[in-house]
Amino acid sequence: MIPRTVLEDKIRAAWFDAQYLLAEDVREALERAEKQEQLPLARLHFGMNLRSLATTSKVRMPLCGDTGLPVYFVIFGERAIGAVEGGLATVFEVCRDAVAYATREIPMRQDVVDSFTREERIGNLGVGFPHFYQRIEPDTDFIEITAISVGGGPELMGQAAMVMLSLDGIKGIQKFVVENVVRTDSGTNCNPQVVGVGVGGSMDIACGLAKQAALLRYVGERNPRTDLANLEEELLEILNDLEIGPWGLGGKATVMDVHIETVDSHLASLPVAVYMHCPAMRRKTLRFYGDGRVEEGVHNSWFRRGHDEFGARPHYSVAR
Amino acid sequence: MSSEHALTTPLRVEDIEDVKAGDTVRLTGCIFTARPRWYRRVLDEGYGLPIDIEALGTNVLLHSGPVMKRLPSGEWKMATMVTMPDWMADGTTGNIRRMLERLHLRAIIGKGELAGTDELCKEHRCLRLITIGTWNDFACNVRRVVDVAWLELGASEAMWVFEVDRMGPFVVEADIHGNSLYAQRRAKREERIKQVMEERGLRQFNYSTPAYPRFLRNFER
């Protein structure tokens, strides 16, 4: 049994943790970046980031002024769905309420607005927001909810294109990624980035993969496919060689990591998408088991479950 | 060698004469916020400024949409704040130049590159400051909300006046003598990017994409 009150308390608290603290992996990456940096301005940048982090945990204020669009990544485990008090509707209701509560109490900025009139949506509850990315996982006894605030910056610089792999090889992908990271040299969004690269599928699938790769995979985590892991390492090296640094003012840390995710694609085309997330990685994962146990702060299993030997990812594969 | 300056608003030209691009600045006094809709009202829709900034002694503009919390007493409390990239305010119509022509400010605070700041800041004798490490550090230096107007645009797009105490450090991106950090760095950074792409065999290489009308391509960056 998963009681409604438990869901409510935990999901509300998850937004507070996400906004006040930072995802652990990114925090560590920032600390490493600060140690490596030589240039005074870049050092000042990381020093101030770390000081902000120390302040937030003390005075409990949101880390970044752009508190972002609220999104949830939900994995409904087959055997846990029936255990939720009030059924599936409860999960969605509680998740929406939690966003309104957090917007009022943390507080978060009214970032959700009508696309055309720019009218504010009270409590960040609007059409399509909070957004739910969801999938059903067979033979699993938990419901996993990851709450993430996606800032405006990461959405500004993303790009997708159709690259012809048959003509260009992997170089085409590399060039496209490098090109897009070079665009951050104007300091429009906050470096260092976590770069998500989605390859294959169709336009929408590539974009989705790129975003999920940036948001949900941890800094330092490599793709299980060796060729892709090598490509990730190579891109990471090239991108940090560019010395764009924080705000395009120079520095060693331009990107924190590169995550490539792939599915198969049509014979005629290769969709590639790049998504860059800033260091304000506000994510928190909760796991509610059918028997009432709750796990907090666990590593999300969005990309981790059910890899078959060909490296196919379950959330997009249909026939197995 | 860069140095840190402590400045108090209202800034006078003689206060900012010695401030050089690359220095850092801490501000004390009053600053006001603006976001794109503020620009639209002031520049295009014929509104007068709802707050008398001169009377409040503020001639420093901050591009930011702060997150504000209203206490039960009706008072506003700063929750957190981050600066906005200046090009968002500038748009394609040179909003910042048009605004400076009207308001005679001595400093604007934002982030990122803004083309032409070397000329602009010299002409208007106005510093351009940028935030680096943009997290809540700055919000902690806000002492008090002095005034607010245009709340009907939403708390973030509204015009706020804050009293701040040693807020910063801001980095001086452009000083009043025609120096700009981004302009100084541009040649060097482009050189480096070209060099790396050359080494990796990516510079001359272009991936093939489906046909796109050439005349629609915007080659300018």
pLDDT at B218 over 60: no
Could B140 and A109 be called an inter-chain contact, meaning their C-beta atoms sit closer than 8 Å?
Answer: no
ipTM summary value: 0.87
Average pLDDT of span A59-82:
91
Q: What is the pLDDT of residues B141-185, one digit of tens each?
A: 999 999 999 999 988 899 999 999 999 899 999 999 999 999 998
**Cβ(A246)–Cβ(A182) below 8 Å:** no
CATH class of B4-183: alpha beta
Give the pLDDT score at A100. 96
Mean pLDDT of B17-41: 94
Chosen for mutation from A249, A269, A274, A281 (greatest number of chain B CBs closer than 10 Å) is A249
Taking phi over 0 as left and psi of -120 to 50 as alpha, with beta for the rest, B183 belongs to alpha
Whether residue B172 contacts residue B23, with contact meaning beta carbons closer than 8 Å, is answered with: yes
* Helices H / strands E in chain B, number of each: 6, 9
Q: What is the pLDDT of residue A315?
A: 42
Task: Please confirm whether the linkage preceding A3 is cis (ω < 30° from 0).
Answer: no
pLDDT > 70? residue A311? no
| Min Cα–Cα distance to chain A from B148, Å | 17
Confidence of residue A131 (pLDDT cuts 50, 70, 90): very high
Q: Would you call B112 and A188 a contact, using CB atoms and an 8 Å cutoff? A: yes
Domain A4-21+63-151+282-296 has CATH 3.30.360: yes
- In this complex, which of B24, B111, B193 lies closest to A187 when CB atoms are compared? B111
Question: What's the pLDDT score for residue B213?
Answer: 62
Q: Given this model, what pLDDT does residue A305 score?
A: 55
Q: Which residue, among A5, A168, A174, has the nearest Cα to A86 in the 3D structure?
A: A5
pLDDT(B217) > 90: no
pTM: 0.90
pLDDT tens, residue by residue, A166-209: 677 788 899 999 999 998 888 888 889 999 999 998 889 999 99
8 Å CB contact of B66 and A56: no
pLDDT of residue A269: 83
Chain B residues with beta carbon closer than 8 angstroms to that of A273: none
pLDDT digits (tens, 9 = 90+) for A272-303: 999 999 999 999 999 999 999 999 988 888 88
Maximum CA extent, chain A: 56
When pLDDT is averaged across residues B198-206 and rounded to a whole number, the result is: 88
Q: Report the C-alpha gap between A93 and A73 in whole angstroms.
A: 15
Q: Note whether B193 contacts A64, CB cutoff 8 Å.
A: no
Q: Poorest-confidence range of A56-65, A72-81, B168-177?
A: A56-65
pLDDT at B216: 59
Helices (H) and strands (E) in chain A, counts: 10, 9
User: In Å, how far are A127, A167, A300, A305, B91 from A262, measured between CA atoms?
Assistant: 30, 19, 18, 15, 36
d(CA B153, CA B68): 14
More confident residue, B219 or B59: B59
Mean pLDDT computed over every residue of chain A: 89
> Considering only CB atoms, which chain A residues are within 8 Å of B130?
187, 247
Find all residues with CB under 8 Å of A215, minimum gap 6, and list them.
Answer: A73, A148, A150, A196, A277, A281, A283
Report the mean per-residue pLDDT for chain B: 90
- Domain spans of chain A, in order of start: 4-21+63-151+282-296, 153-277
What's the gap between Cα A188 and its chain centre?
A: 19
What gap in Å lies between CA B126 and CA B119, rounded to an integer? 10
State residue B215's pLDDT score: 62
pLDDT higher than 60, residue A314:
no
List the one residue out of A83, A128, A85, A123 whose CA is nearest residue A107.
A123
Instruction: Give the minimum alpha-carbon distance from A290 to chain B in angstroms, rounded to a whole number.
Output: 37
Sign of CA dihedral B85, A121, A84, A12: positive
Say if residue A308's pLDDT is above 60. no
Determine whether the interchain pair A188/B202 forms a contact, defined as Cβ–Cβ distance below 8 Å: no
Residue of A nearest to B83 (CA): A65
Check B135 against A49: CB less than 8 A apart: yes
Q: Are strands B76-80 and B67-70 parallel, antiparallel or unpaired?
A: antiparallel
Taking the CA of residue B215 and the nearest CA in chain A, the distance in Å comes to 19
Position B1 scores a pLDDT of 53
User: Residue B219: its pLDDT value, please?
Assistant: 52
A83 three-class SS: coil
Q: What is the pLDDT of residues B75-129, one digit of tens each?
A: 999 888 989 999 989 988 899 999 999 999 999 999 999 989 999 999 999 999 9
